[in-house]
Structure 1
Amino acid sequence: MICLFGNQKGGVGKSTLTVMSGNYLSLAKQWPVTIIDMDYQQSVSQKYEKAKILENAEPYEVIPSTLETFPMLSPVLAKSKNDAILIDLPGKLDDDGLIPVFKSADMVVCPFAYEEFTFESTVLFTVVIKKVNPRIDVVFIPNRIKANVKFEIMSEVNEQLSKFGRITRPLPDKIDFQRITTFQMPLSLYPVIAPVFEEIFADRLWKK
């Protein structure tokens, strides 16, 4: 399974969700995981290198990469069909190098927030990726959601996004999300994230 994490809008938490998914699938589900870090900030790779310096045992490998080098990785990934390949995408759409990445994927996880600019960027990102890869499974995660979001806004956004893919239950804005590393998560987060990740990956786990 190749799963992308992306949105044209930066700051929606895709890199954190990539790491959380890697931790959950490898530690809780014992699924072989590889993360490919294509984000310009390389924050996942930095977390991984920091963990190695501290001599922590990594539950999976993180490979820093770029859109230009993906075609070289693609044949290797194709041989790992039983593994979970998680790709943290760069936050942009204006690069033809994204096309082979989009075409290779089985699923894309798209975090978003309930506000106008993020919603518009999310729809644009989804329209483009579905045009390149019509068979891709799109999953939207309402992320870092505060308790004061108006129900009317949530209802309207969910109605529009549900035309493109599935929407999970929301992840709240919790300080513990800042304590995630590439080798562990605070135990307090498992009850929060487990229902969301079961929604996303349950069918894939059954098929692997």
Structure 2
Amino acid sequence: MVILLGNQKGGAGKSTVTLLLANYLAVNKNRPVTVLDMDYQQSISSKYEKAQLTENMFSYEVLAADLADFPDLMTVLSKNPDEIVLIDLPGKMDDDDLIPVIRAGDLILCPFGYDQFSVDSTLLFAMVVSKINTSASLHFIPNRLKSGVKYQTRLEVDKALAGFGYVGKGFPDRIDFQRVDTTCIPAILLPVVLPVLGEIYETYIEREGNDA
């Protein structure tokens, strides 16, 4: 299964969500996972390399990859039908090499915020990927939700996004998310991330395994 994580909006949280899902699948669900870090900043692969210096045990592998290398990488990774490949996409959609990557996705996860700029970028991302890949499920993850804040346009935004996919459970705005790395999910975050990750797993990943 190939899961893409993307949004044109920088700072939407796609790299953090990639790490959360990778840790959850590998540690909590004992699933074989490989992460392809295709984001231009390559923050995930940088964390992975730093963690290797401390001789940590890893439950999955992270590969820094160029878009042009994707076909060859998938030839290797697809040899294991149980492998879950998570791809942290670049923040821009202006590279033609993105097209085969997007077409390969079985599930597209899109974290976003309810501010106007993030919503506009999210809608544009949804329109582009929906035209390129008509079969993948598109799942939106509200991110950095502030407690006590009333989002006046939330219903309107959710309705607009529902035209492309499903708006799922969201993550609160917590400083602890900065502690997420390639080895584990900090215990303090488990109560707030497990409902979101569990929803994704049960709705798409576990269901695909049962269908197979």
Task: Report the secondary structure of 1:26's partner residue.
Answer: helix
Could you report, residue by residue, the CA deviation over 1:80-114 in whole angstroms, capped at 9, with x for unpaired residues? Answer: 33111000000011110000001111011000000
Aligned match of 1:205: 206
Mapped contact 1:114–1:149 kept (Cα < 8 A): no
In structure 2, distance between residues paired with 1:63 and 1:115: 32
Task: Report the secondary structure of 2:153's partner residue.
Answer: helix
Mapped contact 2:114–2:151 kept (Cα < 8 A): no
Instruction: Return the offset for 1:148.
Output: 4.6
Q: Which amino acid aligns with 1:41?
A: Q
In structure 1, distance between residues paired with 2:107 and 2:31: 16
Matched, 1:26 2:26: yes
Instruction: Return the offset for 1:77.
Output: 2.8
Q: TM-score, normalised by structure 2?
A: 0.94
Where does structure 1 differ by over 4 angstroms across 4 or more consecutive aligned residues? none
Could you report, residue by residue, the CA deviation over 1:15-37 in whole angstroms, capped at 9, with x for unpaired residues? Answer: 01100100011111111110000
Same amino acid, percent of matched pairs: 49
1:36-185 equivalent positions in 2, closer than 5 A? 36-185=36-185
Instruction: Return the offset for 1:192.
Output: 0.8
Q: Give RMSD over aligned pairs.
A: 1.2
Instruction: Return the offset for 1:153.
Output: 1.2
Any gaps of 5 or more consecutive residues in structure 1? none
In structure 2, distance between residues paired with 1:152 and 1:24: 32
Aligned residue-pair number: 208
Could you report, residue by residue, the CA deviation over 1:39-82 in whole angstroms, capped at 9, with x for unpaired residues? Answer: 11110001111111010001100010011111211212332331
Instruction: Return the offset for 1:205.
Output: 2.1
Mapped contact 1:51–1:58 kept (Cα < 8 A): no
Q: Which amino acid aligns with 1:191?
A: P
Instruction: Return the offset for 1:206.
Output: 4.1
In structure 2, distance between residues paired with 1:29 and 1:113: 28
1:180-195 equivalent positions in 2, closer than 5 A? 180-195=180-195
Aligned match of 1:2: 2
Task: Report the secondary structure of 1:71's partner residue.
Answer: helix
Any gaps of 5 or more consecutive residues in structure 2? none
Instruction: Return the offset for 1:156.
Output: 0.9
Mapped contact 1:35–1:86 kept (Cα < 8 A): yes
Instruction: Return the offset for 1:207.
Output: 3.2
In structure 2, distance between residues paired with 1:151 and 1:176: 23
Q: TM-score, normalised by structure 1?
A: 0.96
Mapped contact 1:7–1:91 kept (Cα < 8 A): yes
In structure 2, distance between residues paired with 1:26 and 1:102: 23
In structure 2, distance between residues paired with 1:81 and 1:133: 21
Instruction: Return the offset for 1:151.
Output: 3.6
In structure 2, distance between residues paired with 1:72 and 1:169: 35
In structure 1, distance between residues paired with 2:10 and 2:146: 18
